[in-house]
Amino acid sequence: MSSIAKVLREDFEGYPHGHITSAGKVCVTLFNYPGLQAVLVYRFGRYLYVRRHTVWWWPALVLGAPLYALAALFVRKCYDIRLLMSAKIGPGLALGHFGGIEIQNCCLGERCCIGHQAKVGSADNPEGPQIGAGVWIGAHARILLPVKVGDGATIAPGARVTRNVPKQSLVVGDPARIVSRSYNNKEILLPGD
């Protein structure tokens, strides 16, 4: 139980003023950031999904699955954010805005930051991209092929990644090319503190 609480705490801390101090603050942060609502719904679904083969979780699944389906439908229809169960997302995902976000069939590291209209992983390729920790993915970026993106890499807005990206590098353009191999993205990841 403590591990899921830690994951949720990290999710909140990806946003400005996101430190969990009071219930009121949690509500305000949740209301202000549709991306955070989507991530919470994903965490709930994923928590049940990874336990689907354990028999003593089945009563909870019967109750939880329709609840998840409703919440996911709300997020998809209202904000157009699709975080599918086939994606494996590390703690502390921050979605900057809303609209057109699709994350599926991929593996995301911790403390990633993803802009709106970004597409990570595609439905017709079950082994999707492997993305490291602390990666900043700009708006309208597309990572559809099974590539490896190293820790701390930065994908510029509008980039279409077709090849592996080394860690700490900055890629730009369509198709993406490496512009810098030592780019520090600590400042542009949404502020934790």
Alpha helix stretches (DSSP H) within 14-147: 23-32, 34-49, 58-79
- Of residues 87 and 176, the one with the C-beta less far from other proteins: 176
Q: Considering the complex, what minimum distance in angstroms separates the CB of residue 19 from other proteins? A: 22
Q: Considering the complex, what minimum distance in angstroms separates the CB of residue 192 from other proteins? A: 15
* 140 touching other proteins, by CB under 8 A: yes
12, 33, 42, 98: which one contacts other proteins (CB under 8 A)?
98
Tokens 């679904």 map to which residue? Answer: 45
Length of the chain: 193
Q: Considering the complex, what minimum distance in angstroms separates the CB of residue 31 from other proteins? A: 10
Smallest Cα–Cα separation from 114: which of 85, 87, 88, 134?
134
54, 174, 180, 181: which one contacts other proteins (CB under 8 A)?
174
- Of residues 160 and 167, the one with the C-beta less far from other proteins: 160
Q: Which residues, at least 6 apart from 135, have a Cβ–Cβ distance to it below 8 Å? A: 108, 109, 112, 113, 149, 151, 152, 153, 154, 155, 185
Smallest Cα–Cα separation from 18: which of 48, 40, 1, 44?
40
* 28 touching other proteins, by CB under 8 A: no
Q: Which residues bind other proteins (CB under 8 A)?
A: 34, 77-80, 97-100, 116-117, 136, 138-140, 156-160, 172-174, 187-188
